[in-house]
Amino acid sequence: MHFPFAFCKAAISTAFLAVLLSSFPALAAANSDHEKYSFAGLPNWLESEIQKAGSYGVLPFVNYCGIFQGNPIGGQTQAVAYSQEMLFGVTLDMEKLVGWRGASFRISGSENTGTNLSQSIPNTFNVSQSYVTPTVLLYQLYYAQKLLDDKVEFRLGRMTSSDWFASMPAFGMQVQGGIDGNPTSLFLNSKFTSSPNATWGAAAKVRPTEETIAKAGVFQATSQTGVVANHGLNFSFRGQDGVLAFGEFDWEPAFGKRAAEVSGKGAGKNVVAASPGLPGIYKVGGYFSNYAYEGFMGGYQQYTYGMYWMAQQMVWRSEKNPDINFSVWGGATYSPQYQVAQMPVMGFGGTIFQGLLPGRTQDQFLCTWMTGGFSSSYADAQELAGQPRPTAETALDFSYVINLTPNVFVQPDIQYIIQPNGVGTTQNALVLGVQVGCNF
């Protein structure tokens, strides 16, 4: 009965990908010549109208990401899978539209489909970051306001806690869902949310200095998040709902940054070129929730909390070409309520080498590692249910981001899942795949 609808969604997704792939040669050529390009042969008049709308304050966007994967070795079964997430929407710049300085509204939706390879393996760190709630949803619906020369910003409406909290630039580049966007442990241990599942929330951030940011936010904690039948349209507050409050402090230094310097005159003139330095991001944050979480061994625990630490630092940059650089990143999360926290401890880290290959200064080679330990209470419950006792799962991810243009990329990927679901009875799994994406 559902076959025609599923077939139509698959056909649309395949057609979109075919158009995307067919446009790669022209896009790459335009990028190599540093010329203005149109995505997938958009007519000039349509591109002109989109740019005109932007000048008026109407800013449409589309983000697509599709992943093809298979596990030829390991896991309980070998399978192939395709998953996609497509976000689309519009930001309304109220300053351009009606003169409301610093204000904007955003409304967005998503169309997601595919199958989850991690269900076939099976394992906990989802091997595809594109496998999310598989349906069409209303996503964001919020008002944002910037004040004091953009040093203060707050948002109010339907949004996710991942927008501002517990995220690093390196996370958004991953194929592995265990760390893409945010650490998986936060989703397992709390009502943390990310695209395409939004809840009611309010958040603010303040930049007291050029290098520091303080953030705080409170979000609805509900079991209705991610329910397919709701399609993101359940705006209700229920008696059993709670709140999830976040706080975070960020430090963003740029070690060795310097402005251009000129000394002397005439033949003795000496010029020292400007340097962007080595940028870094260091974060510490935590959360508290009054939502009543059901314990693995029965009962409920209402008041829970957790914390996280994460950092990303560029450690080397070519003097001849600053686009060629090497960065390291890492962090950890901790949630001490073992009765309700499935993964109380998670550690992660990796490296990013941009410009590894000659002539490809925008491409990036990524090496990623993550390990999550399962709680003793969760392990006890699994044993009582007749399942093997889980301890810890580890995932290794190696990928190469080929940036065909600033908006389009292809990313071959290799993953190795060690002790899937934390048990030794399932063979370690090798996962091969490719991610294709575009952002406009």
Which of 76-90, 93-107, 267-281 has the least mean pLDDT?
267-281
Using only C-alpha atoms, the chain has a radius of gyration, in whole angstroms, of: 23
Distance CA 381, CA 339 (A): 10
- CA-to-CA distance for 238 and 404, rounded, in angstroms? 47
High-pLDDT (> 90) share of the chain, %: 81
Predicted pLDDT at 41: 47
Secondary structure class of 98 (helix, strand, coil): helix
For residue 172, give the nearest of 28, 31, 366, 306 by alpha carbon.
366
Please tell me the chain's helix, strand, coil percentages from 3-state DSSP, rounded to the nearest 5: 20, 45, 35
At 43, is the pLDDT very low, low, confident or very high (cuts 50, 70, 90)? low
Q: Is residue 311 pLDDT above 90, yes or no?
A: yes
Could you tell me the pTM of the whole model? 0.87
Number of domains in the chain: 1
How would residue 264 be classed by pLDDT, with cut points 50, 70 and 90?
Answer: low
Strand duo 325-334 + 345-354: pairing:
antiparallel
Nearest to 140 by CA among 115, 122, 162: 162
Burial of 393 (0-12, 13-18, 19+ CB in 10 A): buried
Structure tokens at 284: 């510490």
Kindly tell me if the per-residue pLDDT of 381 is higher than 90: yes
Lookup: tokens for 57: 């304050």
Would strands 270-272 and 80-93 be described as parallel, antiparallel, or unpaired? unpaired
In this prediction, residue 297 has a pLDDT band, given cuts at 50, 70 and 90, of very high
Which domain range does residue 423 map to?
3-439
Residue 19 clears pLDDT 60, i.e. is over it? no
- CATH number for the domain spanning 168: value is 2.40.160.180
Q: pLDDT of 209-261, one tens digit each?
A: 999 999 999 999 999 998 999 999 999 999 999 999 999 999 999 999 888 77
User: Measured between alpha carbons, how far is 311 from 349 in angstroms, rounded to an integer?
Assistant: 9
Q: Is the pLDDT at 109 greater than 50, yes or no? A: yes
The whole-number average pLDDT for the span 280-292 is: 98
Q: What pLDDT, on the 0 to 100 scale, is given for residue 35?
A: 36
Average pLDDT over every residue of 341-353: 98
Q: How confident is the model at residue 22 (pLDDT cuts 50, 70, 90)?
A: very low
pLDDT over 70 for what percent of the chain? 88
- Return the bridge partners of 193, or none: none
In sequence order, the β-bridge partners of residue 332 are 309, 347
